[in-house]
Amino acid sequence: MFSGSIYFINKGTIDINEHQYSENRSVNLPISIGIVKETSDNENRVALVPDDAKKLVAKKMEVLVQSGAGSSAGFLDAEYVSAGCKILGESKDVISIANLIIMLGRPDAQDLSKFKPKSTVVGQIYPLRFQTLVRDLARADLTVYSLELLPRTTRAQSMDVLSSQSAVAGYRAAIIGAYNSPRLMPMLTTAAGTVKPANVLVIGAGVAGLMAIATAKRLGALVTAYDVRKAAGNDVRSLGAKFLEVGFNAEGAGGYARELTEDEKNKEKEMLETAIISSDLLITTAGVPGKKAPMIVSAETISKMKVGSVIVDIMAESGGNCELTQRGKIIDHNGVKIIGSINPQSEVPINSSQMYSRNVSSFLSILVGQDGNFVEPEKDELLAACMICNGGKVTFPPMVNEGEGK
């Protein structure tokens, strides 16, 4: 049974050896949640915030938090302690004890041997991009749920991490663009003359794009947007922006965009060039699920943009929508600033952590049953849809079908 030991923070030192858990502790506390400090570049967010941790503790779950896990997002250890969590010194202390590790991203391959076999991991793994890691997760005998694979259904809406984080990313993209632009965004009529509003073009009007449009509008810019899905036109117009029609509709399965044919790509390039050249700020957010970001803005087109124009490409992580985008870098190309923004949501870590944490809490309401035990993945369609490893095997259909990961 659980020894009842209390973890403590004392001038930053924690003696975990004093507090041994016996093998049978799960009889009393079946779910022991672990929150670690995220390790990927420039990551400030934390997967669970104290307010939500408190609710899980109230449901008789144990929450173990690595010291400092939330500090970059403004959530200090003391707040987790007040919420009833236990603070441990290092990530290895957390992952070797907890049986449900909740992350924003994915575990580091070198840490997998420290996880308890048969533990559950919840994060955003992007299995097609990290296939070797997925096989290693299966070999480590972990059950892994990758939240970005949840279907965009009404039931899954409260768990939709893609929407919550993309909304923040879109907002931030507009702010980054305005901040880096040598122009004002709004029209100003002053005694010193009239300033014209900036022209903002947003490519990709999904969740992030719509938030970028709304934010640029609030800043006073003249906003135009484009998407290959015709249905996006109504959303764009409802925000008071102009929608560019390309003359075909590339809506594919599940309401997402499909990849364009070569002919469609040429039409798109032709139609967009004038709009890109006349924009002061270009924000690119176009994605096709499971694929590299489509390359939409060529180096040749960028060369025709005005000096002082700014491009914010928030698809830099998955290859970028612009040919000259460099992941995580700001470059200058003949006076055009190209910002290869990665993880813009991490620059607003308080709210993006709160939103992710709420999504995760909602996911836990289906992962953990009324009896306080894990629900079998096959008993819930949402669990089954986002599970990528279980029972020592890769269960993610595209990889299994390739005969990999066994």
Q: CA–CA separation, 328 vs 139, rounded Å?
A: 32
Judged by CB under 6 A, which stretch of 61-69, 93-101, 156-164, 386-394 contacts ligand NAD?
A: 156-164
As measured in angstroms, the least distance from the Cβ of 210 to ligand NAD is 8
Q: Produce one character per residue of 326-349: b if its CB has 16 or more CB atoms within 10 Å, e if not.
A: eeeeeeeeeebbbbbbbbbbbbbb
Which of 233, 287, 320, 349 binds ligand NAD (CB under 6 A)? It is 287
Is 66 annotated in the active site? no
- 256 scored as a contact of ligand NAD (CB under 6 A): yes
Is 157 annotated in the active site? yes
Which of 143, 285, 325, 390 binds ligand NAD (CB under 6 A)? It is 285
Catalytic residue among 21, 72, 152, 158: 152
- Are 104 and 124 in contact, with CB atoms under 8 Å apart? yes
- Are 69 and 90 in contact, with CB atoms under 8 Å apart? no
* Contact flags string 192-231 toward ligand NAD, x per CB under 6 A: -----------xxxxxxx----------------xxxx--
β-partners of residue 340 are: 313
Is 119 annotated in the active site? no
23 CB-contact burial (10 Å; exposed 0-12 / middle 13-18 / buried 19+): exposed
224 CB-contact burial (10 Å; exposed 0-12 / middle 13-18 / buried 19+): buried
- 168 scored as a contact of ligand NAD (CB under 6 A): no
Q: Which helix (H) or strand (E) segment is 52 a member of?
A: helix 50-58
Task: Determine the straight-line distance between the first and last CA of the chain, rounded to whole angstroms.
Answer: 35
- 157 scored as a contact of ligand NAD (CB under 6 A): yes
Which of 32, 119, 143, 166 binds ligand NAD (CB under 6 A)? It is 166
Query: Within 13 Å and on the Cβ side, how many CA atoms surround 261?
Result: 5
Catalytic residue among 3, 5, 157, 365: 157
- 255 scored as a contact of ligand NAD (CB under 6 A): yes
Is 160 annotated in the active site? yes
Tokens of 327: 């992941």
- 163 scored as a contact of ligand NAD (CB under 6 A): yes
- 286 scored as a contact of ligand NAD (CB under 6 A): yes
- Residue 21 has a CB neighbour count (10 Å cut-off) of 17
Between 251 and 380, name the residue whose CB sits nearer to ligand NAD. 251
Is 163 annotated in the active site? yes
Positions marked catalytic:
152, 157, 160, 163, 256
Q: Which residues sit at the interface with ligand NAD, rule CB under 6 A?
A: 152, 157, 160, 162-163, 166, 203-209, 226-229, 232, 255-257, 260, 285-289, 294, 296
